[in-house]
Every structure is written in C-alpha cells, then in structure tokens.
Amino acid sequence: MLDSVDRTLLQASGISMRLGRLQLLEQVSLSVSEGEIVTVIGPNGAGKTTLLRILLGLLPASSGCVVKCPRLQVGYLPQHLTVDPVLPLSVTRMMTLTAAHPRKQIQSALEETGVAHLINEPVQGLSGGEFQRMMLARTLLGNPELLVLDEPVQGVDYMGEAKLYELIGRIRDRHGCGVLMVSHDLHVVMASTDRVVCLNRHVCCEGQPEEVSLHPEYLRLFGLESGTTLAVYTHHHDHTHHLSGAVHPEHHHTETGSGGQP
C-alpha cells in the first residue's frame, strides 16, 4: 500500500475454500509486491498452508481469483518436508531434484545460505536449520521473483530462527524478490517482515507488524490464551525498535510461553 511504485507480483482476491461442510478459507485477499516480505500468521488449522497452495496453483479455490505476473518465477519451500532415510539423497541431488543445474550455480546458492560445505552430504544428516537453509538455496536456483516459504523456520532452534529470518531479509535485499511466508508466531519474524496478514480462515487483521501486534483481533487469537504471552510480548515489542533482530536471552521464555499453539 505504501510503496505502490513496486510491481505487484501476485494478487489474490476473495479466495474461499470449502471442503465438504468445512469452510477452510473465507474471502481472503492478499497481495505481494516486488521486494516486499509478507508474512501470514495464524493458529493451527487457520488455513495458512491451504492458502499458499491455492496461490501456487496446486489447489483450486472454491471461489475467488489469483492473478500473477506473466511468467512469474516462483521458488517454493514446502511445509514438513522430510526425506525418508531409506532414500539415499545428497544435498546436490536434492538441489537438482526437478531440473539440472550447473554445479557452480548450486555451489553459489548454497554459499548464499551458508551451507556450501554440506554440498556432498546426505540430506538425512543435516540439522533442522541446515536442511531449511538447503531448501532456501533450492528456491534461489530458478532466479525467482517470488519466494513462497511455508514455515521456513520449522525444526530450527530459537537462535537459528532469528538468523534464518535475517537471511531471508538479506536474500530479499540482494535479489529484490518478493517473499510470501507463513510463520507460527509474530515475535521472531517481526524484525524482518514488512507486512503481516493475520489469518484465521478469514483475514483478521493486516498491516505492519507493530500495528498488527496491537490489533484486538490479533490479541484475541494469540494473546488471551495466556497472560504471560501478552506480558512478555510487550517486553519484546520494546526491544524491536532498538535492535532489529538481536536476540535477548529473555526471549527464550517468550518462545516457550507462546509456543503452545491453541
């Protein structure tokens, strides 16, 4: 809204999704512009992954429409990807899963996400953070204009989470691509996101992270479950103005306090 000079990469309007009697999504509208990081947050079962899949064209919506830039190059990091140990797969192989790429390009993509030293390792030996960094490097291979990241920090410890979000911010700066990601909580993602969409089947509220964090709808969804979450949250909020992304030890309590999803 603020930076209207940037090209809109993806525009979804009035997306609804019904599955039997279940209303998964209702009248969801969302847009991502070039160079913008949009984060969708919401409780479990809020329809975040369903929404991403509709936006990617993997699922047909019951109603509504998605308009994408012509020939939009999308890099996708899916949720809950684990490679069965029975399948021998190296990092290089994972990078070239759907298309061949020159080794130099693979190397530089992995360098960018800081895991180039793992290039010949079996993917099952990677830690949660290393795996997600490899997957992030994968999304860079096709020179994407839009990154769609479904829970990019899953399986990553708290310290790693903040670093990974920083990395996503740097990737956006370097490549100028738009980023649409799903996150389970606002606390860590806050410093590196431009716009937050709070989703609970419908868009509850939307705006800059500071606005959303004070929005009554957001507080109703995330805050009122436990009083401590709200208290610690405010504390965290104070800090983000001074140190962008810097992690304080107290924040670890924030994570454990708000970790229990509704």
Partner 1 sequence: MILDDFFWRALLAGAGVALAAGPLGCFVVWRRMAYFGDTMAHSSLLGVALGFLLGIDLMLGVFAVVLVVALLLFAFQQQRQLAGDAVLGTLSHASLALGVLVISLMPWVRVDLMSYLFGDILAVTVEDLLWIYGGGVVALGVLLWIWRPLLAVTVDEALAQAEGIPAMRLQLLFMLLIAGLIALALKIVGILLVTSLLIIPATAARRYSRTPEQMAVGAALVGVVSVGLGLTTSLHFDTPSGPSIVVAAVIFFLFSVVPLPRSS
Please, what is the minimum distance in Å from the beta carbon of residue 99 to partner 1? 7
Distance CA 250, CA 248 (A): 5
CB nearer to partner 1: give 130 or 206: 130
Rg for the chain, CA atoms, rounded: 18
Q: Would you state the structure tokens that stand for residue 61, as one six-digit string?
A: 């919506």
Please, what is the minimum distance in Å from the beta carbon of residue 74 to partner 1? 7
By the 8 A CB rule, do 152 and 181 touch? yes
The residue ranges that bind partner 1 (CB under 8 A) are 53, 56, 58, 74, 76, 78, 81, 83-84, 86-90, 93-94, 97-99, 122, 142, 148
What are the Cα distances from residue 90, in Å, to 111, 125, 232? 16, 9, 41
CB nearer to partner 1: give 4 or 98: 98
Please, what is the minimum distance in Å from the beta carbon of residue 149 to partner 1? 12
CB nearer to partner 1: give 5 or 86: 86
Please, what is the minimum distance in Å from the beta carbon of residue 76 to partner 1? 4
3-state secondary structure 51-110: HHHHHHCCCCCCEEEEEECCCCCEEEECCCCCCCCCCCCEHHHHHCCCCCCCHHHHHHHH
CB nearer to partner 1: give 125 or 259: 125
